Amino acid sequence: MSEPALDRRQAVAALLKDRGDLLVVSGLGSPSYDLHAAGDHDANYYLWGAMGAAALIGLGLAQAQPERMVLVVTGDGEQLMGLGGLATIAVAKPGNLVTVVIDNGHFGETGMQKSHTGRGIELAEIAKACGIEAGLVRNLGEIEAIRKTLRRKAAGPRLYVVKVRPENVARSLPARDAVHLKNRFRGHLGLPVN
Amino acid sequence: MANKGRIAPHHSRRGEAPQPQDLSGSPDAPAWPQAIYELLKRADIRQMAYVPDAGHSRLIELFQADPDVVSNVLTTEEEGVAIAAGAWLGGQRSVLLMQSSGVGNCINMLSLSAISRSPLLMLVTMRGEWAEFNPWQVPMGRATEPALNAIGVRTLRADTPDDLVEMVGSAVTLAFEADQQMAVLISQRLLGAKQW
C-alpha cells in the first residue's frame, strides 16, 4: 500500500468512542478481538466462526430493530467469504446498517497469508458496484468523520474499508459462549430469555 | 390434494387488481402454501429469506405481498442462516425457504444456529428423490437429511399436504419456543414432478 495504514486497535477504538446505543456485531478473528479491546458491552455480539456471516447477521438485526443503528466490524477475509451478501444487503436497503471492514490485506488469524484485498481487489468498489454507499478510510480524521455518522440512519446501507497495518497485535479475547452472548445481547434490548 | 379448492382469493401485490389464484396455470393449485402462510403469520414470523424454488413460488409471493414481513432474496442459502440469527438477536422470528440443493451451501453457517442455540426454521423443497429428471439433483437430494442432522438441525419430513402443515406448526414451536434448529423437508412426491 502506498499510503501509511492505521493501527487496527486504535482505529476500532476511535470508531466505538461514545458509542451510545449502537448495536455491534463483529466478524471472527481479529475484528472480534478489536471490538473486545475497545470495551466489552452487552450490545456486542462477537463471532468466533460462521465466516461470512457478520454483515448478514447485521442485516437481520437491522431489519428487526429498524430504529436502532447497527454496526458490523469485520475483516477483509471474512467479508470476502460473504461477497454475495453485499448484493443481498444492497437489495434490502437497510438505512440503519453500517459495515466497517478492517482491511489488512491478509488472513491474519491463519499465518498472515495475503488475501484478495492484498492482491488488488478493493471491497469498497465491489460494494459501490452493488449500490452501497462505500468509501476508504486511511486516517483517524476519516474515522472520526464516519463515527459521527453512525448515529444517523441513511437512505441505504453503508460500507467503509479501513486500511490497517498487517500485524498481529496481542489478543483480547471475548467470551466464546454464543448462547451467553445471545442472551446478553437480547437482554440489552429488553428481550426475554426463552 | 386434501385442501384443494380452499384457497382464498388474494391480491398479488398491494394496490393491484386480484390475480387468478392459480399461478401454475393448472386448476389444481395446492392449498398448502396459503395454509402455511397463515400459520406462519399467526406465529408472528416477521422476516422471510429465500433462494427461489418452483415449489416455494406461491409462499414467496404471499410473503412478498405482505407489508408486515421483510423479504430478503439471497445470492446463496447460507446468507439466510445468518440473517435468521440476526433477526432473533433483534427479537424477530423468521423463516428460510430453499431447495434441497441449497442445504449443502449452508452447512458451516449452520454452526452459528447450533452453537448459539438460535431458533431456526427452514422449509426445504426436495429434489432428486421422486420422478427426478435431472441427475445433478440426486446427490444433494440424497445428502440433504443426513447433512442437516449431522450439523445438528432436526428434520421433519412431509409426504402429504396435511402432514406438511401440521409439521410446520410443530417446527414453529420447536424452533421458537424450544430453541431448536428445524428443517421441514417437503417431499418431491408431494410437490409433483417438475414439468419440462
**pLDDT, tens digit, 9 for 90 and up, residues A59-116:** 999 999 999 999 999 999 999 999 999 999 999 999 999 999 999 999 999 999 999 9
Taking 70 as the threshold, does the pLDDT of residue B5 lie above it? no
Mean pLDDT of B133-139: 96
CA neighbor of B109 nearest in space, from A183, A25, A128, A53: A53
Instruction: Quick: pLDDT tens for B150-194.
Output: 999 999 999 999 999 999 999 999 999 999 999 999 999 999 866
Is B158 in a helix, a strand, or coil? strand
Taking 50 as the threshold, does the pLDDT of residue B32 lie above it? yes
Mean pLDDT of A114-124: 98
User: Which residues of B fall within a CB distance of 8 Å from A51?
Assistant: 108
User: Which residues of B fall within a CB distance of 8 Å from A179?
Assistant: 115-117
The three grid cell numbers given for residue B66, joined into one nine-digit string? 405482505
- Considering CB atoms only, which of B86, B88, B91 is closest to A58? B86
- Shortest distance between the Cα of B6 and any Cα of chain A, in A, equals 33
- Shortest distance between the Cα of A4 and any Cα of chain B, in A, equals 34
CA neighbor of B97 nearest in space, from B185, B169, B166, B35: B185
Instruction: Quick: pLDDT tens for A129-157.
Output: 999 999 999 999 999 999 999 999 999 99
- Considering CB atoms only, which of A57, A91, A194 is closest to B86? A57
Interhelix angle A83-92/A54-64, rounded to 10 degrees, is: 20
Q: Give which of A63, A93, A176 to mutate to test B binding, by max B Cβ within 10 Å.
A: A63
Is A82 in Cβ contact with B79 (below 8 Å)? yes
Strand B45-50 and strand A158-163: pairing?
Answer: unpaired
Cα dist. B73→A143, A188, B51, B93, B98 in Å?
Answer: 32, 29, 6, 17, 11
The sign of the torsion formed by the CA atoms of A172, A177, A180, A183 equals positive
CA neighbor of A88 nearest in space, from B82, B108, B89, B184: B82
Separation CA A86–CA A91 (nearest Å) = 9
Say which DSSP state A169 is in.
P
Q: Is this structure's pTM higher than 0.80?
A: yes
Is B84 in Cβ contact with A50 (below 8 Å)? no
